[in-house]
Amino acid sequence: MPPTIVTVPGFSGAPWVLDQLGPLHKWPLRTMRLPEGLDGTEFYADFVETQVADLDRYVLVGDSFGAAVALDVATRRPPGLEALVLSGGFAASPVTNPFQRACIRAARYLPGPLYRQVTLRLHAASLASPHDTAGEIPWPRRASRQLLVDNTPHLSYVNRAHAALEVDCRDRLDRVAVPTLLITPSHDTLIGADAAHTIRHGIPDATEVVLRNTGHMLRFSHPTRYASAIHAYLLARVGAEVLVTAPPA
């Protein structure tokens, strides 16, 4: 059997919609929902390790906040991990401006309607790119906001924002001992180009693919191109000795 592709949710915590990832459908796939109430990427990494404990071979695919979590797992060199895929990820907080950091921390004081109508609208705006509505699945700002409304309680938002601001595993990147693919959108004002550059030069075996005309939400707006990039990389680096169509039942 080929390794199982295990997808790590992004900031919303919502499980991935696996049926949108057509090019990966011959691989074993698994997703999860992030737990609530954790404060620190290392605690989410602990959780992910429990989710893969039964797997002999697996590939971690993390997007955005989930990429930071998957990266934390990979630096631990867990048994069974054969490859790593990160999109829109970061090894240290991409938000370095003190005023912006203060604004993010202020979200804890805006619960209820203020959280939904102010914090989440601003967050959705930070995720947006000019390419989102022209994708395979049009993804307007309101879709990002609704994703958070439906899946991310205020306390989880506050805790994950704090975790994203405090994460820093740059001094452990050389511990990642598996082939790593970085999928970078061509337009990402939230994370920025420096984040991928840091990871690419810190991990011994890292390859970057830039998907043109995509933004930070490329997994949602361009799922086929996104999955195709993963599929091609894994075929080349992990192998696909049994990726054949199953016989009819």
Pick the more confident residue, 98 or 207: 207
List pLDDT tens digits, range 158-201. Answer: 999 999 999 999 999 999 999 999 999 999 999 988 999 999 99
Measured in whole angstroms, the distance separating CA 71 from the mean position of its chain's CA atoms is 10
244 assigned to some structural domain: no
Here the CATH number for the domain that contains residue 138 is 3.40.50.1820
Lowest mean pLDDT among 57-61, 92-96, 136-140, 237-241: 237-241
Q: Is residue 159 part of a domain?
A: yes
Q: Is 104 helix (H, G, I), strand (E, B) or coil?
A: helix
Containing structural domain, residue 152? 4-237
pLDDT at 249: 37
Q: Provide Rg for the chain, Cα atoms.
A: 17
Q: Is residue 242 part of a domain?
A: no
Range in 66-75, 96-105, 124-133 with the lowest mean pLDDT: 96-105
Q: How many domains does the chain have?
A: 1
pLDDT score of 241 more than 80: no
pLDDT at 27 over 70: yes
- Look at residue 91 and tell me if it is in a domain: yes
pTM for the model stands at 0.94
Quick one: pLDDT at residue 1? 83
Helix axes of 65-75 and 154-166: crossing angle, nearest 10 degrees: 50
Is the predicted pLDDT of residue 242 greater than 60, yes or no?
no
What mean pLDDT is predicted for residues 5-30?
97
Residue at 12 is within a domain: yes
pLDDT band at 57 (very low <50, low <70, confident <90, very high): very high
Q: Has residue 48 been placed in a domain? A: yes
Residue ranges of the alpha helices (H) in the chain?
Answer: 41-51, 65-75, 98-105, 112-114, 120-127, 141-151, 154-166, 193-202, 218-221, 223-237
| Within a domain: 181 | yes
